Amino acid sequence: MDAGRRFRILRRVVALLCMIAVAALCGPSANAGDEVQAVSSAGGNRPAQPADIDVLLTWGKYAMESARFAEAEARFREVLDLDWNNPRAFQLLQETRTRRIETLESWVREGRAAEADQDAGLAERHYLRVLEEAPDHKAALDGMARLRSQRESERFLRAGLEKYIQEDYPGAELDFDQALAIDPSDELARLYRGRVQQQISQSASFADLRADAPTWAKYLDALKKLRAGDLAGAERLWREILAVYPGNEAVLSNLEQVARRRKQEFSSQDVAP
């Protein structure tokens, strides 16, 4: 960051602190925490004040320039809650979205450059920054998978990421658990295990399966059989579950995976000498 930009950011921070301090001195019982709380509450008991909007705009601009895009968007939306036709908030919101796209692409390029320089630690930090903002970013996911290609936990991590993309969340959770059992410091597996658990908790069909202990045990047993290459055993268990929970997307997806594996095995036998 050049000196001019650092100076502009510092000037905005000072302005923000001054506004909060003035509000604290002018009110008989207000303090900086009260001011921030009042600014953040779109449905407060008093009308919007210009100082509220100025603070939020300055706060949002600082967050945007610090690459905290979600926080910046939240502050500009608060301004629009207070003043729905504020042109500056609209402009900054659009600028934040544009910068977010450009910045994520820049971080991916920096990650690839670090990979080319064989600096795996730096490359991983760049990709993780992308994934914190965009968990489904394919280029960053691919980069992380490449970096872990030599690690013992890679097989389970890659399988978990593939299942996550296919929305097979119970299968992905099992793979991420295996990856963490091998390498408890694997932050990517931990990050996506948390996201998988969140998705499972939001899905009624998975919630029903998990609440039914015998069925859930059968489901996990089928996943283990699939991993061991016992396609017939996995298919038998999943069809038993499907009879109880017809139309379950995860079970149907796993049966399709069994069919694809069988087709691959037949194809490999056909080309064998």
Q: Are residues 6 and 47 in the same domain?
A: yes
Question: CA gyration radius for the chain?
Answer: 25
Percent of the chain with pLDDT over 70: 74
CA distances, 128 to each of 140, 165, 199 (Å): 8, 17, 20
Do both 135 and 2 map to the same domain?
yes
Mean pLDDT score, 227-237: 91
Categorize the per-residue pLDDT at 19 as very low, low, confident or very high, splitting at 50, 70 and 90. low
Residue-number span of the structural domain to which 196 is assigned? 156-202
Residues 137 and 38 in one domain: yes
Q: For residue 207, is pLDDT > 80?
A: no
pLDDT reading at 30 higher than 80: no
Comparing 121 with 199, the larger pLDDT belongs to 121
User: 133 and 180 share a domain?
Assistant: no
pLDDT band at 12 (very low <50, low <70, confident <90, very high): low
Nearby residues of 209 by Cβ (< 8 Å), 6 or more positions away: 170, 215, 216, 219, 241, 245, 248, 250
* Together in a domain, 60 and 80: yes
107 and 170 belong to one structural domain: no
Query: Residue 149 — very low, low, confident or very high, per pLDDT cuts 50/70/90?
Result: low
Going by C-alpha positions, the residue among 130, 133, 134, 181 that lies closest to residue 160 is 181
- Would you state the pLDDT for residue 8? 54
Q: Are residues 25 and 104 in the same domain?
A: yes
Instruction: Taking residues 56-63, report their average pLDDT.
Output: 91
Whether residue 55 sits in one domain with residue 161: no
Count how many domains the chain has.
3
43 and 122 in a single domain? The answer is yes
pLDDT at residue 148 is higher than 60 = yes
| Whether residue 165 is found in the same domain as residue 61 | no
**CA–CA dist 173, 252 (Å, integer):** 18
Based on the fold, state whether residues 6 and 122 are members of the same structural domain.
yes
pLDDT for the residue numbered 261: 86
Query: CA-to-CA distance for 257 and 261, rounded, in angstroms?
Result: 6
Q: Is the domain of 77 the same as that of 193?
A: no
Q: Of 263, 265, 206, 258, which is closest to residue 233 (Cα–Cα)?
A: 258
Angle at 29 between CA 28 and CA 33, to 5 degrees: 130
Residue that terminates a domain, selected from 147, 170, 192 = 147
The overall longest dimension of the chain from CA atoms, in Å, is: 90
Final residue before a domain boundary, out of 124, 147, 170: 147
